[in-house]
Each structure stands twice: as C-alpha cells, then as structure tokens.
A and B are shown apart, each in its own frame.
Chain A
Amino acid sequence: MTAGLWQNWVLPGIWITVQLLVYSAALAAAVAFTVGTARTHRSRAVRFVAGVYTEIFRGTSALVLMFWLFFVVPPLMGWQLVPMWAAVLALGLSYGAYGAEIVRGALNSVAVSQREAGIALSFTPWQRLRLILLPQAVPEMVPSFCNLLIELLKGTALVSLLGVGDVSFAAYLVRLATQESAQIYTISLVIYFVLAFALTRSMKALERRTKRNIGIESPPGLLGGLFAKGPGSDRAEDRLAGTAVAGGASK
C-alpha cells in the first residue's frame, strides 16, 4: 500500500469512524434515557408507546433501517438526508432502543424502598429520578453500555455501504486500487480492535468512578478484561442476561 492511499483514505477514514461513533453514541444515549425512563413511567399510555418504539427498532436490522432512511424517506418526505446523517440517525435510533432496555433494567434494579423514601420526603418525580434513582442506576448500566458501545463501533462499518468514507470504505477502495486484500483488511480489523480496546479500558475506569461515587470500591484491573478470569466472568453474566434483558440483578 502506498503512502498516498494511507494519507488520503485510511487516516481520514479512522477520523470519520470516530466522528460517527461519537454522534451516534450521543443520539443513542439521548434515546436510551428518554425511552428507558418512559418505560418506567406511571402512565400506561407512555409505557406502551415507549414499548412499541423499542420493539420496532430492536426488531428490524440496523442496515435495513439505514437503507430505508436513505432511499425511502427522500421521495416520501421530499427532502434528502446526507448519507452521514442517515447513518447516524439509523445507528442512534436502533442502538438507542437496546440502550433503553439497559436503562429500564437498571432503574428497576434500584431498591423500591429508595423510591418510597423519595416519596416520603415529598420529592417531585423529577427530583426522585435525578437525585435518587439515576445516581444508583448509572453504575449498574455502565458495563452493559460498554458492550453496546462496542456493538455501535462495529455498526459504524455499515455506513460504508452508503458510501460514507469510513475505515471499511477506505479498505474497500484500497483493495480496488492495490488488489492486496489480505493486507488492507487485516489492517482495518486491527484498527477496529484497537478502537474497541481503548473504549473498554475507558469504560472500566468510568465504572470504577461512578461506583466510588455511591461508595462501592472495585478492584483495579489493568489488562483484566482481556486475560484475567475475574472481570471477564462478570461480563459473561451480562452476556447470559442476553441482549434483550440487561441490568437486572444487583452485583
């Protein structure tokens, strides 16, 4: 591979992948917290609407949703989405639906007496959520959100099919130019792996920090997630809980 291909396609591709990840993660987080708390709302109608949202966006494939936003919305609505924003919208909306389940599970795992204490102190529902429920629920969410963020990172590769110049698209172009498939695809897989590794490390730090805020000390782990049995096995429990139900039992 020549230096020109590297500078003009692969490096900008990494930057686009990172941008996509940040934008769609922000949208997914907004959707997840809105829909997730709506699913614990006392009004049945609100819970129902949020439930329908989750089932629809979790039920369909992110790629099909992306194609739909890109090809179907323009003739129906009369305006066209830039590929990048169609991609961010599709990723954010569908991974937000998975995130909503995480938020719901974590909110439900906070002890009922905590909510009752809030009522006894005559907090408003918003104050209860902000001051009592969320601070205890967030540390519970972090490991599952870490998994979801990795899924989202992998999901960003789909945008290459809409012609957005991310890492995968760069790999495709470089393959066309040089005919050396093994080299460029190995490089791009390693790029994704490194990005994912950086994400898991920083999310582990975030988890320790949010837990310390509510007085739980967890042991430091340097390369724990990759080689050690301890931290790996608690993630395995999240996996056992499955993609559909996350959070759940308290540690």
Chain B
Amino acid sequence: MTWDWSAIADFMPRFWDGVLITLQVLVLGSLISFTLGLVWAIAFRAPTRFIRWPVNLVTEFIRTTPLLVQLFFLYFVLPEWGVQFSALTTGTIAIGLHYSTYTAQVYRAGIEAVPPGQWEAATALSLPAHRTWIAVILPQAVRRITPALGNYVIAMLKDTPLLAAIGVLEMLQQSRLESASTFQYTEPLTLIGVAFVLIAYPASLLVRSLERRLVR
C-alpha cells in the first residue's frame, strides 16, 4: 500500500465542506456553552438550596456522562417527544450543553476569585442584584477566565468528530463518505488527523500567550 496524492486531491472539495461545518459547530457550540455555563454558574450561587442542589446534580450528571450517549439521547428521544431538529442542530445543542457544564466550573472559579470586598461594596452602595453582577462581579471574573474558556474551545474542537455518529457532515463524516466511495481510507483519515493538529496546536499556543498576559 502506497501513499496516493491524487486521493488527497479528490478529497479536497469534501474536506473544505467538512472544515466549514466543523467550524460552524465550534462557533455556535461555544456560544451556547458560554451563555448556558454562565447561567449554571449564577445558579450555583442562588440564595436557596432548592435551586443549588438540583443544578449541581444536573451539571454533575451531564459532565460525567459521555457526550456520544447524550448525542444519541437527544437525536433519538427528542423526536419521540415531538421536537424535531436536524442532525446538525441536535449535534450543536448537545456539544454546547455538554461543554456548558465545564464552562460553568470555570465561571464559578472566576467568580469565587473576585475579592469579597467587591460584593460588600456593592451591598454598601445598595446596588440591585443584576447591577452587582453586570457592573461589578462579571467584568472582574471574565478577565481571569478567558484562557480557561479558550482551552475548552480547543477541547470542543476535538469532540466535533463525534457528530459524525449521527451523520453530521463534518470532517470525519466527509472522510468516511469519501472512503466509502473510493475505498481509500489512508489518505482522507490521515489528512483530517493532520488538520486537527494544525488547528489545535496554534490555538493552544494562542491560549497560552493569553494566559501569560491576562493571569499574572
């Protein structure tokens, strides 16, 4: 078996389609996980334990169970409940939901790192709760946690191939389709493996330099 460059050339159009879908899932999934994670993190600090406990349990459950099974759960069970989404939408929601439980822990750590004096100052100025969060706490928390969030975006990138299992046409699924029609497994699979390293490594360098600049 020898390496065949023409197989790479044939795969290129499909490959770019796959890259676009992967990036689309990544961007939308990140947005979902960043917003939902913040919701979880604020709920962790709710004044009553009847909110805190269920939220802790649910996020712990989502975090410690496999994304793949969650993906199948959403893909097969939602239609049974009468909610019908495309595979791409289901996959993006699943990945965003899964990673929101990770970003929630990041937000929590960031919020806990804000000095208690800031909370007391907000109370002393009798700021309403939403003003305390938006104007005082979050601006100070977000600065510290940006690098950690970046790490989870990279982790999310490496989980996007799971979406191939429900037929989303991202990079892995494109290479499987290509292999199914040409019987060339080596070249497409190797190409997407290299593509992941080529995206992930510069991204992790970027996160590392952010970390050095923001967290002193």
Contacts and interface: CB of A to CB of B under 8 A. Distances in A.
Contacts of A182: 73, 77, 80-81
A10 B208 CA distance: 43
Interface size class of A (residues with CB under 8 A): 35 or more
A61 interface: yes
Interface string B52-82: 0100110011011111111011001100110
A72 B189 contact: yes
Interface of B: 1, 53, 56-57, 60-61, 63-70, 72-73, 76-77, 80-81, 102, 105-106, 108-110, 112-113, 144-145, 147-148, 151-152, 154-155, 157-162, 164-165, 172, 179, 185-186, 189-190, 192-193, 196-197, 200-201, 204, 207-208, 211
Given A58-B200, A239-B148, A243-B155, A157 B66 contact: yes
Given A61-B159, A240-B113, A243-B151, 8 more contacts: A60-B197, A71-B189, A75-B186, A186-B73, A189-B69, A193-B64, A236-B112, A242-B148
A1 to B, nearest CB: 15
25 contacts: A59-B158, A59-B197, A61-B161, A64-B172, A72-B185, A75-B185, A76-B1, A153-B64, A153-B66, A154-B67, A155-B66, A160-B68, A161-B68, A168-B72, A186-B73, A189-B65, A192-B64, A192-B66, A197-B64, A200-B64, A226-B60, A227-B53, A239-B102, A242-B147, A243-B155
A79 B76 CA distance: 37
Contact of B189 (A56, A67, A157, A175): A67
A153 B72 CA distance: 17
Interface of A: 55-56, 58-65, 67-68, 71-72, 75-76, 150, 153-158, 160-161, 167-168, 171-172, 175, 181-182, 185-186, 188-189, 192-193, 196-197, 200, 226-227, 232-233, 235-237, 239-245
Contacts of B186: 71-72, 75-76
A109 B186 CA distance: 42
Contacts of A65: 193
A185 B69 contact: yes
A76 B185 CA distance: 11
Most buried by A among B81, B113, B164, B189: B189
Nearest to B152: A243
Contacts of A186: 73
Given A67-B189, A243-B152, A192 B56 contact: no
Nearest to B105: A239
A71 B179 contact: yes
